[in-house]
Amino acid sequence: MRSDIEIAQAAELQPIQAIAETMGLGSADIVPYGHHKAKIPLEVAQARGGDAAPLVLVTGVNPTAAGEGKSTVSVGLADAFTLRRRNPVLCLREPSLGPVFGIKGGAAGGGHSQVVPMEEINLHFTGDFHAISSAHALLAALLDNHLYRPNSLDIDTTAITWPRAVDMNDRALRSVVVGLGGRTGGVPRQDGFVITAASEIMAIFCLADGLADLKERLGRIVVGYSRSGDAVRAADLDAVGAMAVLLKDAINPNLVQTLGGTPALVHGGPFANIAHGCNSLAATRAGLALGDVVVTEAGFGADLGAEKFFDIKCRFGDLRPAAAVVVATIRALKMNGGRAKDELTTEDVEAVRRGFVNLQAHVENVRKFGVPPVVAINRFTSDTRAEIDVVLEGCRAMGATAVIADPWGGGGEGCLDLADAVQDVIDGGEADYRPLYPTEGSLVSKIEAVATQIYGADGVDVEPAAAKQIARLEAIGLRDVPVCIAKNQYSFSDDPTRLGRPTGHRITVREVTPSAGAGFVVVKTGSVMTMPGLAARPAAVGMDVVDGQVTGLF
């Protein structure tokens, strides 16, 4: 059996100009990055008129550590629409180097449902992540330089909220001390790093609708507070212009292709467990302007990615999703039904039946946003007919359409039934999108709304330090904004070991930080970290370059 990278490397790709032509774009409308990648200037997509295409979200159940193929289903669904001659556009996030070298080894789909060129997308791509990391680092450098000379803003060094960022999993950087080295080494203080996917600049990048909006948002970033308690922002440090210089090309969406020849806009990459989990709004809007149907994905389960897609991205972007696909796998349901990770390939109908409550909760949650769901059973070779029938019967009982999909082995052909089911939902016109909560109201009321209605919690416990942070954020104008809750991806609770559909739990809020430029606040729960660590055996140790070819990307 060939690996993902072997399948991708064996594919014969079309010139990127040919892919652009399927979207009605000429060679003058794109900026090529080699033969198989390009950027689409924002003004090109913004100049296209016509009615917006229907938007389809792909989300899923709580995943296992191995991942459940949500991106693979997204690619397969888009390619199935291509086979049905629907002129789709696929919109995905860019992979982060942290997970690529950590656990995943690659994040561009899998098998015969991949976006390509796979190695380039997974590695440096068009440099967007580097630009975001550099802009983040520049603001951190300007902040520390201001502390050193002359600190005319009277910044309190114990009240700085702007961390540093790097696009790599590195637990040793979670807490550091900077400014050592004597009188010329800067002002000593405690600091820390987040992964680039958790940077506020990533969130801003993914919500800005152009360069002017980007600059306005960058200027609003809160980097800390003065000794008198006033918020200090990036604009106060005269940082905005230089940061925009670093981001001016990156903000244009990236165009690549799937193995099935479907145009794919791969742009932006916030994680859903520690950030808002969606590709850039600019890319999604470009897809809606240039395609007949848009397939996009939000990270991890519907409790994280889908909730943030609906409550943050759709709210800010005035998007009206027409349907949602909830991806489920037999192995994920078995794990949620009590089986261990090394037991997931053994038939266990009762474990699937017990774990079905997890899928049920996600389907119910999607419906709370007024969006009709379709369940996609992403089939693996170890799945048995009896196990699959449990899921099909359970979905029928709750009035949800469910179909079997085989994107890994069958590509678009393996997702034709799924595409037809989604098209039926679109044609039915049942969608009536609405956010879960209004932005008006206290931050705690919005945290409680998500915790009780989406996570199924009994309530929220706010630690004293977090309560003080909430009071400060509401005092500086960050009250009537959405909340972006950082929570582990494995459980509806803030305890990753409580699988299935836990009850009787409460959500503990331990820290609340500003994302004023993005337009929301980040609420950190449980023990979730914004700087991941590497596994005992990282994917990086199996990677190499042999005869000019990358190996080891799964």
The mean pLDDT of 31-60, rounded to a whole number, is: 93
Give me the pLDDT at residue 301, please.
95
CATH 2.60.120.260 fits 4-103+111-125+253-428, yes or no: no
The mean pLDDT of 117-138, rounded to a whole number, is: 97
Average pLDDT of the residues of the chain: 96
The mean pLDDT of 537-547, rounded to a whole number, is: 93
The mean pLDDT of 396-420, rounded to a whole number, is: 97
% of the chain beyond a pLDDT of 70:
99
The answer to whether residue 51 scores a pLDDT higher than 90 is no
**pTM, full prediction:** 0.96
Give me the pLDDT at residue 66, please.
62
- Indicate the CATH number for domain 443-525: 3.10.410.10
Structure confidence by residue, pLDDT tens digits, 324-380: 999 999 999 999 999 998 899 999 999 999 999 999 999 999 999 999 999 999 999
Q: Which of 15-19, 340-344, 472-476, 512-516 has the lowest mean pLDDT?
A: 340-344
The mean pLDDT of 85-91, rounded to a whole number, is: 97
Structure confidence by residue, pLDDT tens digits, 495-508: 999 999 999 999 99
Alpha-carbon distance of 312 to 33, in angstroms, equals 31
Q: Which of 448-462, 508-522, 533-547 has the lowest mean pLDDT?
A: 533-547
Of the pLDDT bands very low, low, confident and very high (cuts 50, 70, 90), residue 554 is confident
CB 79 within 8 A of CB 89: no
Amino acid at 133: S
Structure confidence by residue, pLDDT tens digits, 218-254: 999 999 999 999 999 999 999 999 999 999 999 999 9
Of the pLDDT bands very low, low, confident and very high (cuts 50, 70, 90), residue 160 is very high
Angle between helices 240-247 and 128-148 (to 10 degrees): 160
Give me the pLDDT at residue 459, please.
98
* Same topology between domain 128-247 and domain 443-525: no
Q: Which of 368-372, 509-513, 535-539 has the lowest mean pLDDT?
A: 535-539
In three-state secondary structure terms, 439 is: coil
The mean pLDDT of 275-283, rounded to a whole number, is: 96
Q: Among all residues, which ones are annotated catalytic? A: 70, 72, 93, 104, 272, 300, 380, 408
Cis before 150 (ω within 30): yes
Give me the pLDDT at residue 79, please.
98
* HSE toward the beta carbon, residue 492, CA cutoff 13 A: 30
Of the pLDDT bands very low, low, confident and very high (cuts 50, 70, 90), residue 2 is confident
Structure confidence by residue, pLDDT tens digits, 109-124: 999 999 999 999 999 9
Amino acid at 36: H
What are the domain boundaries of the chain? 4-103+111-125+253-428, 128-247, 443-525
% of the chain beyond a pLDDT of 90:
92
Q: Which helix (H) or strand (E) holds 234?
A: none
Q: How many CB atoms lie within 10 A of CB 157?
A: 15
CB 153 within 8 A of CB 145: no
Structure confidence by residue, pLDDT tens digits, 452-487: 999 999 999 999 999 999 999 999 999 999 999 999
CATH 3.30.1510.10 fits 128-247, yes or no: yes
**Which tops the pLDDT comparison, 104 or 177?**
177
The mean pLDDT of 9-28, rounded to a whole number, is: 96
Token output for 43: 């003004």
The answer to whether residue 131 scores a pLDDT higher than 70 is yes
298: DSSP letter: B
Of the pLDDT bands very low, low, confident and very high (cuts 50, 70, 90), residue 106 is confident
Of the pLDDT bands very low, low, confident and very high (cuts 50, 70, 90), residue 108 is confident
Give me the pLDDT at residue 68, please.
80
Of the pLDDT bands very low, low, confident and very high (cuts 50, 70, 90), residue 553 is confident
Cis before 163 (ω within 30): no
